[in-house]
Amino acid sequence: QAQLVETGGGLVQAGDSLTLSCAASGLNIYSWEMGWFRQAQGKEREFVARISRRGHSTSYADSVKGRFTISRDNGKNTVYLQMNSLKPEDTAIYYCARSRHTYYTGTSLVDYNIWGQGAQVTVSS
């Protein structure tokens, strides 16, 4: 049974940095593209970042490009999201997700079918 668990969320001030981790069990992430999504209060879940199976390709939402970095350590079966220069508008629940297929995965919600429980990130002004 595949499971993703996000850790590392918390309350920080604007301009601070935070790193989220996504530990996988019941699956080997080397076979899958992985992504991060977030959902702010009262808004729909939105794409944040994705990474290819070996980390050669990454994609980012325009709102986080240049500030966030997605990475992976397949040996540790873990995906990371490094968040720098955090802004209050980054406040959301952040979800780790596994792609639906082993080949290229896009940035749409429907491209992923295994999700973590989410980690709250709150950025104060």
Q: Mean pLDDT throughout 96-100?
A: 96
What local confidence, expressed as pLDDT, does residue 121 receive? Answer: 98
Q: What is the pLDDT of residues 54-72, one digit of tens each?
A: 999 999 999 999 999 999 9
What local confidence, expressed as pLDDT, does residue 40 receive? Answer: 98
Q: Mean pLDDT throughout 86-109?
A: 94
d(CA 78, CA 105): 18
> Confidence band (pLDDT; 50, 70, 90) for 48?
very high
Q: Mean pLDDT for the chain?
A: 96
The b/e string for 82-103 (b: 16+ C-beta within 10 A; e otherwise) is ebeebeeebbbbbbbbbbbeee
Q: What is the pLDDT of residues 9-45, one digit of tens each?
A: 999 999 999 999 999 999 999 999 999 999 999 999 9
Q: Mean pLDDT throughout 67-95?
A: 98
DSSP E strand boundaries for the chain: 3-7, 10-13, 18-25, 34-39, 46-51, 58-60, 68-73, 78-83, 92-99, 112-115, 119-124
Those residues with Cβ within 8 angstroms of residue 60's Cβ, 6 or more apart along the chain or in another chain? 48, 49, 68, 70
13: left (phi over 0), alpha (psi -120 to 50) or beta: beta
What local confidence, expressed as pLDDT, does residue 104 receive? Answer: 78
* Whether pLDDT at 5 is above 90: yes
d(CA 27, CA 32): 9
Would you say 36 and 70 are in contact if contact means Cβ atoms under 8 Å apart? yes
* Whether pLDDT at 103 is above 90: no
Q: Mean pLDDT throughout 66-82?
A: 97
